[in-house]
Structure 1
Amino acid sequence: MPPTSPSSSVQAAREALAARLREIRLDAAMTKREIAARCGWSEAKSGRIENARTAPSDADVLAWCRACGAESMAPDLIAANRQADSMYVQWRRLQRTGLKRLQQASVPLYERTQHFRVYCSNVVPGLLQTPGYASALLGGIAAFRGLPDDVAEAVTARVNRSQIIRESGRRFAIVIEESVLRYQLGDASVMAGQLGSLLSAMDLPAVSLGVIPFAVQRETWPVESFSVFDDARVDHEPLSASVTITAPDEVAQYVKAFGAFHRQAVYGAQARALIVKAIDALG
């Protein structure tokens, strides 16, 4: 199953980098003290870097490689170091200029992706959100985080981005928990409109929409929502951060998890019945 902590992927990347630096040191037949002397820092720092307790700077990585006579390896290691830095991005940093820019930033990713796998346990996926639902959701996010009020513009950007779901040549496999149908964002009319829109989305030729019923015997437990883009990248968004995962072994875990959720979901008439039931419950 996918990692449950948003920082776990970052730590795994840090540990992989630290292991490579240790291998370079051992291949050079050098001690941590010798590395420290050549780099001009303490032996303790060498130990912290090698044990992934301290994240090295780009300059640290370059100095380490030079000290070991492996300067040619520095560019790849620096790239890996920067990838680890970018995997966990604080929401405040991403959203400091408002939500519209955040919606627009993902457009290139959406445009180059051919196969989308989306699992949602808490809200309707952005690709399927109506303007009313998106407004309620983004408005709540902006208020909670004290962001600039550009909700109307962000909703427009999200809806425009979602038009890709109607383009040919792409596939969208989407699985939601039945709870998503019951969590009310906006008033009853907003929810009724959103649920009705889900029924319409099921008719789109490129869309496979499944619902995991409350009553199903679980093969896997619900996890935080995530999206897989062409088996090459995973994005998931816990409360405090946006996490991007590109390590093949971790991406494979999410693909495996999505397969499990897909098997537990119902489709077609059974899924429609659950959505209609949720609409009826709105009164």
Structure 2
Amino acid sequence: MTPPGITRSNGTTLPQNRASGSTNVHEARTALGKRLREAREAAGLSGRQLAESLSWPPSKVSKLENGRQAPTDDDIRAWTGATGAEDETDALLASLHTLEVQHAEWQRILRTGLKPHQRDLMELDQKTRLLRAFEVTVVPGLLQTAEYARFRFAEVAHSLNLPNDIDDAVAARVRRQEILYRPDKRFHFVLTEAAVRFRLCPTEVMLGQLDRLLSLSQLPTVRLGIIGFETPYATPPQHGFWIHDDERVLVETYSAELDLRQPQEIELYTNTFEQLAGIASYGRSARKIINRVIEDIAPEEPGDSA
């Protein structure tokens, strides 16, 4: 079965398999590898000869040239030095650094802890006038209670073996949420019903989180949509993403954060968001879904079953 396409604003259709920004990241890494291969071939060196001259395993040369591994700055300098392509060093480093912005691994972003990244996001929030966010499995950070956020940060810190600055990160996330009350800002959140049902924390924490969503949904700066389980999708909810104005899209994967800024990527994600937002429930209908979840997960009081 052929997956449905994404309709662009100009009326043309972009295949669904182009919806992931990771495609462009892979293409950029492959293009960088091709330039490295060209430098090696111009020097008349085989992959094994280059590897031996740099005391590298031969597999490293192959991985770098085929885009299966991203080089470091030192790798680039060593490569151009060994192949006599020193005049290409700056251009190759620029390409590498652009790639690192597009595909920033969490281990690198969070190496100094969780709090610094929250500060970076706060700076981005300050610059953004319209934030559109779609989430499939979790409540967005700007809408999280401190208790819910604590469980999310604890999960990340454990899986990536990060420094334990969870308390500071939670405090920073809560401070970020002050921007929701700024009259010059607008926020449009669309969540699947799964995002408000998945048990990613204890029941009492989730109940507090759902109550928080009910409250925030009535802010004049916030538009909150919920896509109920019974709603048919034309566009599959493959992953969450955040659109900051019309300038950049952030996508979080298990291993990295994608920072997409090419016009065609932004257009694609904007059109995808509009399609998903168009099938969501808002206002009382959205709150009805949230209240239904509350009724489903709240523990029974004595006498309820009587």
TM-score range, shorter chain: 0.7 to 0.9
Offset at residue 77 of structure 1 (A):
7.5
> Out of 124, 136, 151, which is 1:109 matched to?
124
Q: How many angstroms apart in 1 are the aligned matches of 2:133 and 2:194?
A: 16
Answer whether contact 2:134 2:190 (CA < 8 A) is retained: yes
Give me the whole-angstrom Cα distance separating, in 1, the residues matched to 2:216 and 2:283: 11
Equivalent-residue separation in structure 2 for 1:260 and 1:85 (angstroms): 30
Matched residue, 1:197: 212
Q: Indicate how the Cα distance of structure 1 residues 43 and 93 shifts in structure 2: closer, same or farther if over 3 A, else same.
A: same
The aligned length equals 264
Is residue 95 of structure 1 aligned with residue 110 of structure 2?
Answer: yes
- Measured at CA, do residues 261 and 153 of structure 1 come closer, stay the same or move farther in structure 2, by a change above 3 Å? same
For the 8 Å contact 2:187–2:221, the answer to whether it is kept is yes
Paired with 2:154 and 2:68, the residues of 1 have a C-alpha distance of 38
Mapped contact 2:197–2:293 kept (Cα < 8 A): yes
Alignment of 1:143 onto 2:158: yes
State the TM-score, normalizing by the size of structure 2: 0.74
Query: Quick one: distance in 1 between partners of 2:40 and 2:245?
Result: 43
Q: Secondary structure at the match of 2:218?
A: coil
Mapping of residues 165-204 of structure 1, within 5 Å: 165-204=180-219
Kindly provide the CA deviation profile for residues 72-105 of structure 1, in whole angstroms up to 9, marking residues without a partner as x: x997886444212321122112222221122112
Contact 2:145 2:212 in 1 (8 A): yes
What SS does the aligned partner of 1:277 have? Answer: helix
* Equivalent of 2:135 in 104, 120, 125: 120
Are residues 1:82 and 2:97 paired? yes
- Residue in structure 1 matched with residue 223 of structure 2 by the alignment: 208
Measured after TM superposition, the shift of residue 7 of structure 1 is: 3.7
Distance in 2, matches of 1:54 and 1:240, equals 14
Bigger Cα displacement from structure 2, 117-126 vs 132-141: 132-141
CA distance in 2, matches of 1:93, 1:78: 17
CA drift of 1:151 comes to 1.0
Q: Which of 134, 137, 147 is the matching residue for 1:132? A: 147
The separation in 2 between residues aligned to 1:50 and 1:90, in whole angstroms, is 20
Q: What's the % identity of the aligned pairs?
A: 34
Q: TM-score, normalised by structure 1?
A: 0.79
Letter in 2 for 1:133: Y
Give the letter for the 2:246 counterpart. D
Contact 2:130-2:185 within 8 A present in 1 as well? yes
- Matches of 1:252 and 1:58, distance apart in 2: 33
| Equivalent in 283, 286, 294 of residue 279 of structure 1 | 294
Question: How far did 1:43 drift?
Answer: 8.2
After superposing the two structures, state which structure 1 stretch, 139-148 or 246-255, moved more: 139-148
For residues 78 and 275 of structure 1, the distance between their equivalents in structure 2, rounded to whole angstroms, comes to 49
Q: 1:28 matched to which residue of 2? A: none
Distance 1:49 1:282, change over 3 A: closer
Q: Which residue of 2 aligns with 1:228?
A: 243
Q: CA deviation at 1:143?
A: 2.0
> CA contact under 8 A between 2:224 and 2:282: conserved in structure 1?
yes
